Amino acid sequence: MKRALIITYYWPPSGGSGVQRWLKFAKYLPQYGWEPVIYTPLNPEANTVDEALLKDIVPGTEVIKTKIWEPYSFYKALFGGRKNTSDGGKHIKANIIGSENKSFTHKLSLFIRGNFFIPDPRCWWIRPSIKYLVKYLKEHPVDAIISTGPPHSMHLIAKGVAKATGIRWIADFRDPWTEIFYFKHLNLSSWAYSKHRRLEQSVLDSADVVTVVSKKMQADFAARTKTPVEVVTNGFDHEDFLCQAVETQKQTKPYAVERCFSLVHTGIFVDNGNPEYLWEALGEKANEDPQFKGDLQITLMGQVDDSILQGIANAGLEGNLQNMGYRPHTEVVQWQQQAQVLLLPLRKEPEAAAILTGKFFEYLASGRDILAFGPVEGDLAKALQETGSGTIVDFQDKEATRREIDRLYGKFLEEGEAGNHREEKTLSPAVMKYSRKHLTGEMVKLFERNEKY
């Protein structure tokens, strides 16, 4: 069996979206004749912990860990930060980068982050990791190296190792580097900006293959390098949904969908992804229609910015809100399947047109209606149309938002008691091409491609 060294900052028991992509690829690689070898920090700064993800690690998988030093204790001392609370995470600032916080300390923290920690706060792990891995590979050879970023320091580790060993290297970008939405918020000096761009270009030009998660990212990178740039999207693990359906059916048969008009959002919910007009439209409809007010339930699972909670409260919908905080992935999947509508706001940034979040693909697998907010001509809009899975509305289009709420609630009423039960949905070929198992096969083709650029 061939071996693939995967350099990733995120690995269980760390939770969150950054873990899922290569955890799932590693799960299915052995079925394609490849053994994953994971290189990850021994002591990462984990925002969330999800022990349930450990079940997806194939028994016997080799996981190599070395210590990392990160400046977060320095950050906390300078800028403070509220701890998680027992109230469902109400007071967590989900993402300071790109937030609406304009305080001096916030701007200073971004300036330090962007100008002194290049490409990111994991930069002190690069040199010791290169030294360690070059030595390790002399005794434990592999057939391919994969780096996944952000954090983009992982790419610089792989670049150094590939240069020293000559092993084929695939640089996997889950998000852009200098074209990501928050890059413009880092208050970069001209020197720091140039260094970021040089490092990014060196990764693009040195890798044997660059993989990205959307067509827009592919076009942006392909215009800058001769290295092949291939799209391997995020996806969903069908086994997660099959297993969860079985567990749910053990508890209640047939499979029960919660009988309320439930709007569910899972994952990080940040202030510049706040769909203010959605809360206003829901509040206005609730005032007009007591039955709607009684049927409506808004469920939030994950880190939620205060501005979202305030918007819901301002709309008079506090009594319709269930704020659950971070939950294990297995529980999140169940709530996705039980929702009437799954909310998928992107960010109010032009770069959002290139984003296909991992959350979208899990929403797909649930078979529930998706109501998205963001660019109506972006990659997400095209994917929603291709799969027939939902609708996207511009953040500023309150009229369209209200039309979608009326339509979706009308559908809920038409289903009546019949909507209280459903059989497991057979997913279409247009959806199944996004299964993690299928996508692993697409990634393996890139491992095994012989030609050089």
Sequence-distant (6+) residues with CB within 8 A of 340 are 257, 258, 260, 261, 262, 263, 368, 369, 408, 412
Domain boundaries, the chain: 2-71+116-235+436-448, 238-430
Most confident by average pLDDT, 156-165, 185-194, 383-392: 156-165
May I ask the CATH architecture of the domain 2-71+116-235+436-448? 3-Layer(aba) Sandwich (3.40)
Per-residue confidence band for 253, with pLDDT thresholds at 50, 70 and 90 = very low
Q: Is the pLDDT of residue 251 over 50?
A: no
> If pLDDT is split at 50, 70 and 90, which confidence band does 417 have?
low
How far is Cα 261 from Cα 409, in angstroms, rounded to an integer?
Answer: 7
The answer to whether 2-71+116-235+436-448 and 238-430 have equal CATH topology is: yes
The residues facing 62 across adjacent strands are 37
- The yes-or-no verdict on residue 3 having pLDDT over 90 is yes
Answer yes or no: is pLDDT of 155 > 80. Answer: yes
Give the CA angle between residues 72, 74, 79 to the nearest 5°.
90
DSSP class of residue 29 equals G
Q: What is the pLDDT of residue 226?
A: 97
Contacts of 382 (CB under 8 A, 6+ apart): none
- Identify the weakest region by mean pLDDT among 79-88, 115-124, 385-394: 79-88
Residue 248: predicted pLDDT? 41
> What value does the mean pLDDT take over residues 199-210?
98
pLDDT score, position 354: 82
Whether the bond into 429 is cis, omega within 30 of 0: no
Q: What is the mean pLDDT of the chain?
A: 87
pLDDT in tens, 427-447: 788 888 999 999 999 999 999
**Cα 210 from Cα 188, distance rounded (Å):** 26
DSSP alpha helix (H) spans, 214-368 = 215-222, 238-251, 276-288, 290-295, 306-314, 329-338, 358-366
The verdict on domain 238-430 having CATH code 3.40.50.2000 is: yes
> Residue 82: what pLDDT?
45
Question: Which pLDDT band, with edges at 50, 70 and 90, does 75 fall under?
Answer: low
At 323, which helix (H) or strand (E)? strand 321-325
| Of residues 4 and 75, more confidently modeled | 4
DSSP letter at 124? Answer: G
Is 51 a residue whose pLDDT tops 50?
A: yes
> What average pLDDT does range 172-196 have in this prediction?
89
For the segment 177-182, the average pLDDT, to the nearest whole number, is 86
In this predicted structure, the answer to whether residue 87 has a pLDDT above a threshold of 90 is no
Report the pLDDT value the prediction gives residue 79, as an integer from 0 to 100.
53
Average pLDDT value for residue range 40-69 = 92
- Tell me the per-residue pLDDT of 388-413, one tens digit each, with 9 for 90 and over: 999 999 999 999 999 999 999 999 99
Q: What is the mean pLDDT of residues 363-385?
A: 93
pLDDT value, residue 16:
79
Question: Is 259 a residue whose pLDDT tops 90?
Answer: no
The whole model's pTM is what? 0.81
Whether the per-residue pLDDT at 171 is higher than 60: the answer is yes
More confident residue, 420 or 133: 133
Strongest mean pLDDT among 91-100, 140-149, 239-248, 416-425 = 140-149
pLDDT, position 190 = 93
The residue type found at 105 is T
Residue 113 pLDDT > 80, yes or no?
Answer: no
Q: Which of the two residues, 184 and 290, has the higher pLDDT score?
A: 290
C-beta separation of 4 from 146 below 8 A: yes
